[in-house]
């Protein structure tokens, strides 16, 4: 690490709390020594069976070459050290647009681990699963109230899977009407999972250009909705953080042509408690529980992507559906028009549970989260719009999108600014997305950020804007205060090394310096 840069930053008074980045720590496999173990089992209370006798010697394994052999304390130290190399919400803001990185309440973790909830088997009889079924049912009710819809499936386990489920519901509905049609319209500002999901549902993607306001081109929209169009997939607010002003009219046009409106609910943090998609014409949508509903990202997942639908799509929902009769809950598999299963069992129950805990904590007050989220985004926008280009000068909701147009004049682009933001103690915002804004900076603070944190972020971004003009090199070569600098992703992709191998196979991996790790000097934070 670069001691000079740290002193520089101290000198200009960067106050943000920072991480330890030191500690050389190799792979767990490099620590393995034969005979060590980290977990012991209670002794066997039945006669021991010899695997070779029981299964036949040719089906028995010799032992897994290279599998770790370490003690409990080494496991604790290894992963604790690794954890110190991560940024996290618990440390500070993630201004990532469209990710809604809000606080993950700890009570959610506590209740998810309760004996009697974490322990339940999904195939056990309904009679001894009433608690689990009620949790699913209660969450469903809340989600229907929030989205203004009629029925739900909590089975999809990620936003992308929710999208696919929604598209399959649309297909099933249109098939029941005699013609599934061929295309789905997708705005060019859409998240990548949208077109990918369309293809898996066996529809053709038709990209439609956003207008000069970054919105669906309402003037020409009617022409796009031909008889071949099954649906429009819209994100509202759009990935620019701007409310689609014509969405109700869009819904009407689609419906008049027998097509449906799908809403990607990734940006629900701008709407919850303030408006309801079901009210403005959405037929089917998914929610990202790991975004709007606070379930933890955990380094990439798990998530949940439940879908809520209007009555017309209810018969096609995935099986099983949770029903309630005379106060008793049950899983109903008798759904002849269902699209089938999208996942074994009933979905990511542990995630659903956490989302319910979150919703119960707020109750009707959930509106306040939306208001604070929008307040934070606009506050940040106000304090940066003099320095960063606003490609679409429209009211922002919960996120704001700038571009790097002014900084590019000095050879500094959005990726560079993002990397420099790391030195100031923040995780980068979303770079280079949406695609309709070249050099985008997509910033979503969420309601979890205090005024203090927002001010620190603003201060950092303003300082970087100055650096882009006065000292662009320091921005272009950032980050400086991390465990490793920018990694050579090109070499990594050309000759991928995707696993550790035992020493005798390491010749092929010689290019990687396992001994050359430099000791890092811990800075005074």
CB of 220 to other proteins, least distance (A): 21
505 binds other proteins, rule: CB under 8 A: no
CB nearer other proteins, residue 446 or residue 463: 446
Measured distance CA(141)–CA(147) in Å, rounded: 10
480 close to 5: Cβ distance less than 8 angstroms = yes
Measured distance CA(444)–CA(467) in Å, rounded: 23
CB of 283 to other proteins, least distance (A): 16
CB nearer other proteins, residue 324 or residue 470: 324
Residue from the set 10, 15, 36, 506 that interacts with other proteins by CB under 8 A: 36
Measured distance CA(162)–CA(510) in Å, rounded: 43
349 binds other proteins, rule: CB under 8 A: yes
Residue from the set 209, 220, 409, 451 that interacts with other proteins by CB under 8 A: 451
Looking at residues 302 to 341 of the shown chain, list those that interact with other proteins (rule: CB under 8 A): 302-303, 318, 339-341
206 binds other proteins, rule: CB under 8 A: no
18 binds other proteins, rule: CB under 8 A: no
Pairing type for strands 321-325 and 260-264 reads unpaired
465 close to 387: Cβ distance less than 8 angstroms = yes
Looking at residues 209 to 238 of the shown chain, list those that interact with other proteins (rule: CB under 8 A): none
Distant-in-sequence, close-in-space partners of 169: CB < 8 Å, separation ≥ 6: 284, 307, 309, 313, 316, 317, 339
Residue from the set 11, 17, 44, 219 that interacts with other proteins by CB under 8 A: 44
75 binds other proteins, rule: CB under 8 A: yes
Instruction: Find the Cα–Cα–Cα–Cα dihedral 66, 67, 71, 76, rounded to 10°.
Output: 110
Q: What own/partner pairs with CB < 8 Å and gap ≥ 24 does 247-251 have?
A: 247/216, 247/280, 247/281, 248/280, 248/281, 249/218, 250/216, 250/218, 250/221, 250/281, 251/280, 251/281, 251/282, 251/283
CB of 12 to other proteins, least distance (A): 21
Contact window for other proteins (CB under 8 A) among 190-198, 221-229, 250-258, 466-474: 190-198
513 binds other proteins, rule: CB under 8 A: yes
Contact window for other proteins (CB under 8 A) among 142-150, 217-225, 253-261, 466-474: 142-150
Residue from the set 8, 332, 372, 459 that interacts with other proteins by CB under 8 A: 372
499 binds other proteins, rule: CB under 8 A: yes
Contact window for other proteins (CB under 8 A) among 6-14, 74-82, 220-228, 466-474: 74-82
Residue from the set 174, 248, 387, 405 that interacts with other proteins by CB under 8 A: 248
Q: How many residues make up the chain in this entry?
A: 525
Distant-in-sequence, close-in-space partners of 460: CB < 8 Å, separation ≥ 6: 14, 16, 421, 424, 425, 426
38 close to 70: Cβ distance less than 8 angstroms = yes
CB of 223 to other proteins, least distance (A): 22
Looking at residues 113 to 132 of the shown chain, list those that interact with other proteins (rule: CB under 8 A): 113-125, 127-132
In terms of DSSP H, where are the helices of 148-269? 159-176, 193-200, 218-224, 247-256
Residue from the set 256, 371, 473, 521 that interacts with other proteins by CB under 8 A: 371
Give CA separation, 21 vs 24, 87, 419, 484, in Å: 9, 10, 16, 9
CB of 307 to other proteins, least distance (A): 14
Task: For tokens 């009707």, name the residue.
Answer: 364
CB of 156 to other proteins, least distance (A): 9
300 binds other proteins, rule: CB under 8 A: yes
Residue from the set 315, 350, 391, 472 that interacts with other proteins by CB under 8 A: 350
Q: For residue 143, what are its two tokens? A: 């989600």
CB of 476 to other proteins, least distance (A): 12
């Amino acid at each position: 690490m670069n001691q000079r840069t740290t002193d520089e930053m101290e000198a200009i008074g960067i106050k943000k709390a920072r991480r330890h980045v030191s500690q050389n720590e190799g792979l767990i496999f490099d620590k393995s020594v034969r005979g060590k173990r980290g977990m012991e089992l209670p002794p066997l209370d039945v006669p021991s069976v010899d695997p070779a006798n029981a299964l036949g010697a040719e089906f028995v394994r010799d032992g897994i070459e290279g599998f770790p052999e370490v003690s409990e304390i080494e496991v604790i130290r290894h992963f604790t050290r690794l954890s110190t190399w991560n940024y996290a919400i618990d440390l500070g803001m993630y201004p990532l647009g469209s990710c809604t990185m809000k606080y993950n309440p700890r009570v959610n973790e506590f209740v998810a681990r309760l004996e009697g909830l974490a322990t339940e088997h999904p195939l056990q009889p309904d009679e001894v699963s009433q608690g689990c079924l009620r949790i699913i049912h209660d969450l469903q009710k809340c989600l229907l109230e929030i989205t203004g819809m009629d029925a739900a499936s909590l089975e999809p386990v990620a936003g992308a899977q929710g999208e696919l489920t929604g598209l399959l519901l649309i297909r099933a509905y249109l098939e029941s009407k005699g013609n599934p049609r061929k295309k789905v319209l997708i705005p060019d500002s859409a998240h990548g999972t949208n077109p990918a999901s369309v293809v898996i549902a066996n529809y053709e993607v038709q990209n439609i250009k956003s207008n000069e306001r970054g919105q669906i081109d309402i003037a020409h929209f009617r022409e796009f909705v031909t008889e071949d169009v099954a649906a429009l997939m819209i994100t509202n607010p759009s990935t620019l953080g701007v409310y689609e002003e014509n969405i109700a009219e869009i819904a009407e046009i689609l419906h008049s042509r027998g097509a449906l409106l799908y809403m990607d609910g990734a940006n629900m943090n701008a709407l919850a408690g303030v408006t309801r998609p079901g009210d403005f014409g959405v037929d089917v949508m998914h929610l990202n529980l790991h975004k709007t509903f606070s379930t933890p990202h955990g380094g990439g997942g798990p998530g949940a992507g439940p879908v809520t639908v209007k009555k017309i799509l209810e018969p096609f929902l995935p099986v099983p559906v949770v029903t309630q009769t005379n106060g008793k809950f049950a899983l109903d598999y008798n759904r002849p028009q269902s699209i089938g299963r999208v996942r074994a069992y009933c979905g990511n129950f542990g995630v659903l549970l956490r989302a319910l805990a979150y919703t119960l904590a707020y109750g009707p007050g959930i509106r306040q989260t939306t208001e604070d989220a929008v307040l934070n985004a606009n506050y940040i926008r106000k304090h940066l719009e003099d320095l960063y280009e606003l490609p679409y000068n429209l009211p922002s909701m919960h996120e704001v999108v700038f571009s790097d147009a002014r900084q590019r004049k000095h050879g500094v682009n959005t990726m560079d600014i993002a990397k420099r933001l790391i030195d100031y103690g923040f995780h980068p915002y979303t770079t280079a997305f949406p695609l309709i804004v070249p050099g985008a900076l997509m910033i979503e603070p969420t309601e979890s950020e205090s005024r203090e944190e927002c001010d620190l972020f603003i201060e950092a971004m303003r300082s970087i804007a100055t650096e882009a003009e006065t000292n662009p090199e320091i921005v272009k070569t950032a980050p400086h205060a991390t465990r490793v600098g920018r990694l050579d992703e090109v070499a990594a992709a050309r000759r991928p090394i995707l696993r550790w191998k035992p020493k005798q196979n390491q010749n092929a991996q010689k290019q990687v310096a396992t001994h050359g790790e430099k000791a890092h000097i811990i800075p005074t934070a």
